[in-house]
Amino acid sequence: MDRPDAAPDEVDRIVDAWEAERPDLDVEPLRIFSRVHRLARHLDRARRRAFEAHDLELWEFDVLSALRRAGAPYELTPGRLIAETLVSSGTMTNRIDRMSARRLVARRSSDDDRRIVLVSLTSDGKERVDAAMAGLLDRERALLAGLSAGERDSLAEMLRAVLRPFDAPAATRPEGHPS
C-alpha cells in the first residue's frame, strides 16, 4: 500500500496478487502506472461525456481546440494539425472532411501561396469548442477538488517529469526509451 492511512484500492489488490504469484519480480512500477492507466481510462470516459454535451466527439474537440489555441484568425495547415493531434495525414484529411461537412471548420487556400491549404475554425466550431472547454474544466476541477493547491502543483510536476522523455524529440530521448 502507498500510504499507511490510505484505504486499499484496486491497484493494491493487483500489486499484491503479482507479488504473491511472482515474488521474483519487482512490481513497484505497477503501483504508479496501473493507477495512471486506470485514471486515463476514467478521464477518457469523463471527457467523452463532457464533449457529447456539446455534440462533439473527442477527436473533433482535439482538432477544434488546436485551431482555437492558435489564436485569431484560428487557422492552421493540415500539417500543423497533424503535429498538434498526433494522427496520420490520412486520418487528418478524413477528420477535416467530416468536420467541414458539419460546418465546424472550413478549408481555404492561403492568400500568399495558393498551394497551401488552411483549415479555419467556423463561428459554430468556435462556440462549441469554447463551451466544451468550459464544461471540461468544470468536470476536471471537480475531480481535483480533494487535492490541495500544493498537491496539485506537485502532481503536475511529477507527471511532467514522467512525460518529458516521451515529448522530447527522438534525438534527445534516453537510449532504450519506449516512445
Kindly report, residue by residue over 70-89, the tens digit of the pLDDT: 999 999 999 999 999 989 99
Determine the Cα–Cα distance for residues 44 and 164; give it in Å rounded to an integer.
Answer: 21
Q: Are the CB atoms for 37 and 57 separated by under 8 Å? A: no
Judgement on whether residues 26 and 71 belong to the same structural domain of the protein: no
Residues 43 and 64 placed together within one structural domain of the fold: no
Range of the domain at 44: 9-52
* Residue 106, beta-bridge partner list: 120
Residues 68, 40: one domain? no
Q: Are residues 68 and 135 in the same domain?
A: yes
Within a domain: residue 3?
no
pLDDT per residue of the chain (179 residues) written in tens, 0 to 9: 455 567 889 999 999 999 999 999 999 999 999 999 999 998 999 899 889 999 999 999 999 999 999 999 999 999 999 999 989 999 999 999 999 999 999 999 988 888 999 999 999 999 999 999 999 999 899 989 999 999 999 999 999 999 899 887 765 655 655 65
What whole-number distance in Å separates Cα of residue 26 and Cα of residue 90?
42
Contact 137, 143 (CB under 8 A): no
Q: Are residues 63 and 99 in the same domain?
A: yes
Express each pLDDT in 132-164 by its tens digit: 999 999 989 998 999 999 999 999 999 999 989
Considering the domain boundaries, does residue 126 fall inside one? yes
Per DSSP (E only), the strands in the chain are 75-76, 105-109, 117-121
Structural domains in the chain (count): 2
Same-domain pairing of 129 and 62: yes
Please check whether residues 76 and 44 belong to one and the same domain: no
Instruction: From residue 165, give the alpha-carbon distance in Å to each of 17, 145, 152.
Output: 30, 29, 21
